[in-house]
Amino acid sequence: MDTDANDARRKWDRVYAGTSTEPARACQVLKTFSYLLPTSGRALDVACGRGGNALLLAQQGLNTSALDISPVALDALASQAKVYGVAIELIEADTAVYRASEAEKFDVIVVSNYLDRDFCQRLPQLLAAGGLLFYQTFVKDRTEPDKGPSNPDFLLDAGELLKLFGALRVLQYVDLGTIGDVSHGLRNQAMLVALQEN
């Protein structure tokens, strides 16, 4: 593991060492559009943290894997999976170097509150034909600038998810910025549901 990856792992291990044992929650895009999920197949929760998305996917009956750089986060997810009585494959990995084999295509991939643009370029190759991507993370044009990362490298530009995943067919996209009555709608984040057609 290189220095950046070691720093990231240490930082996130510290964050998760201080968190509660409250069940982690799935992101809004996955909860809202969970009716699009298949009832069988393989799913991957990328940068899963304590794995709210992975737990939802496994409870849906999907053969679920969860990837994160932080072993402390993965331990917390392992405990929750036991409580829920679901099996989740835990992958301790850095998205900068993670590569799945041809045999390891996924029918569903979820990414929430995480942005690694190089990984996004490779992500469609991990999706099986007919596979769905659910993506939700923070944007630069926020109504509450203190919500989400302060480093602009980890924030989406307006319309950026559409550019990053231009090879996929867009089923849902929400990116409201600060337009209109900001007490309504998803703010601070953008969300995308997209389909790998072939």
Ligand X SMILES: C[S@@+](CC[C@H](N)C(=O)[O-])C[C@H]1O[C@@H](n2cnc3c(N)ncnc32)[C@H](O)[C@@H]1O
Looking at beta carbons only, is 65 or 70 nearer to ligand X? Answer: 70
- How far apart are CB 89 and ligand X at their closest, in Å? 15
Q: Among 187, 176, 116, 182, which Cα is nearest to 146's?
A: 187
Tell me how far apart the alpha carbons of residues 133 and 159 are, in angstroms, rounded to a whole number.
16
Residue 15: count other Cβ atoms within 10 Å of its Cβ: 13
Rank residues 147 and 169 by Cβ distance to ligand X and give the closer one: 147
Of the candidates 37, 69, 77, 194, which one interacts with ligand X according to CB under 6 A?
69
Pairing of strands 88-92, 127-138: unpaired
As a whole number of angstroms, the distance between CA 14 and CA 181 comes to 38
Smallest gap from Cβ 129 to ligand X, in A, equals: 25
Closest to ligand X by CB, 2 or 197: 2
Q: Which two tokens stand for residue 162?
A: 């559409």
x/- letters, 89..118, toward ligand X (CB under 6 A) = -----xxx---------------xxx----
Which residues of this protein are in contact with ligand X, per CB under 6 A? 5, 8, 12, 27, 47-49, 52, 68-70, 73, 94-96, 112-114
